[in-house]
Chains A and B, each alone.
Chain A
């Protein structure tokens, strides 16, 4: 009984915090109380609003809730370039993130292997990595637009470049940190280089590599919103910017929530994959 109570404590607290937040939001966006001294002529002009007070410009929780409901009902509608459902926009963003992320994995994991296995390569490439790593991925955008001449490809490139570093560094570190004794076992068994790479080093480094991939996907999802605000056209980032131009705060709030939820799902799925390859010592 006590255990049951304890296991429910945290979820109940979460719900309470949520309700408190909604309550505070609701209170903050209540219609402003009617002014007592209203000029009679002004009251005539604006009608009822003068006496009932003004509606807050910031949407209430109920407004946003209604908007979310509306989007959930019709997530994939497409009425021209400036009016697409949130579902479609998220799908565009996800497709770009996954494309850039996969490309980065294809480059970073083999390269990381090489760097991790050879101290010379590591030392040779280290200065480049150290300089390239801290560059904001968006700084590459103009260069990408200029050379690739396509906004869609440029966005994918930006995702590629920001996903690359965590995966590269973690793969190299994971490979370099493979325990000497496992390599010695492989040596005494006369295991060939390919078999050693795939059967010993890869499984030993897999948890570290997966951690790098998890960091990468998180950064990629952060960057895609900004990148799409710049390149426009489609995607959840563009949606947010477009709704800012429409001054539709409810839509922006809906998009923010959707971005958060999708980001959480991406992180959870990578966390799940990391657990699959993690071994207890």
Chain B
């Protein structure tokens, strides 16, 4: 069996408040990501999603546990793992080309200016920003800024992409377009992606594996949902696939009810944080025929 690209072992994060009380954000998380996989982590705000991503990026440290990338324990940020920030984090004094070139020149310090430019141009073209090379971030729309962020992350040819709710600040139309572009680019480049989101449809469209995280404090990985819809999904026909609503209902059920109520007791003794249950609601024929269908107040009266 080949080594997973990412292996997270028993990580937890605790903060000590000033009065000495300790808050445990998440506890005993175990997780693996295979090469070429697109993984989404979904959960409510405050469950420590962003902390997990920052740990993977090397920007934050854990209180306990280990994170291995390519079989080696990580000790800090690395050019292997490119981050796409929610706030795009472009440097406003640099042009589009300048922002990407800064990353490329950091990755390959020995490259000539011409080579750096040529390499940047390739990624500017890839995210459809051709013609905007000399623009400053302040002259770009939100969607274009995030395209620059994506190009900057991809241009350093990382082993994996880490995305922290990259589309949450965008309007719905732009978000849809960018999601499809990310799908296309990841299919072309066979990128491994770890993405944080709280958008169920985004997760179903993009991810091969959706990790459900319970509410914090003491957040845990409740389940791993395998997206059984084949790759090559598009926004256009996603909802026509028979698996779509089963997966969607499962995720929404989780986010609305189970993410709050989940604990070791309700999960039963079979729950093992090292191997959270892997479920495939898409294949579950009965999933749509909800046994305890809610009764609306009107119906009850009638």
Using a CB–CB cutoff of 8 Å, the interface residues on chain A facing chain B are 179, 181-182, 184-185, 187-191, 195, 199-200, 203-204, 206, 277, 279-281
A190 and B59 contact, Cβ closer than 8 Å, known pairs A195-B106, A204-B93, A279-B138: no
A190 and B77 contact, Cβ closer than 8 Å, known pairs A181-B87, A184-B85, A279-B138: yes
CB-based contact A188/B58 at 8 Å: yes
Q: Shortest CB–CB separation between residue B105 and chain A, in angstroms? A: 9
Interface size class of B (residues with CB under 8 A): 20 to 34
List 3 tightest A-B contacts by C-beta distance, closest first: A181-B89, A280-B138, A279-B93
Residue from B83, B87, B91, B93 within 8 A of A188 (CB atoms) = B83
Tell me which residues across on chain B come within 8 A of A188, comparing CB atoms: 57-59, 77-79, 81-83
A189 and B58 contact, Cβ closer than 8 Å, known pairs A182-B91, A184-B83, A204-B91: no
Tell me which residues across on chain B come within 8 A of A199, comparing CB atoms: 102
| Interface residue? B35 (CB, 8 A) | no
CB-based contact B93/A203 at 8 Å: yes
Tell me which residues across on chain A come within 8 A of B107, comparing CB atoms: 189
A interface footprint on B67-104 (CB within 8 Å = 1, 0 otherwise): 00000000011110111010101011110000000110
Q: Shortest CB–CB separation between residue B49 and chain A, in angstroms? A: 17
Chain A binding surface SS class: helix
Tell me which residues across on chain B come within 8 A of A187, comparing CB atoms: 58-59, 76-77
Q: Which residue of A lies closest to B92 (CB)?
A: A279
Q: Shortest CB–CB separation between residue A255 and chain B, in angstroms? A: 41
Tell me which residues across on chain B come within 8 A of A277, comparing CB atoms: 93
Tell me which residues across on chain B come within 8 A of A184, comparing CB atoms: 59, 83, 85, 89
A interface footprint on B106-150 (CB within 8 Å = 1, 0 otherwise): 110000000000000000000000000000101000000000000
Q: Which residue of A lies closest to B82 (CB)?
A: A188
Q: Which residue of B lies closest to A179 (CB)?
A: B89
| Interface residue? B195 (CB, 8 A) | no
CA distance A181 to B87 in the complex (A): 8
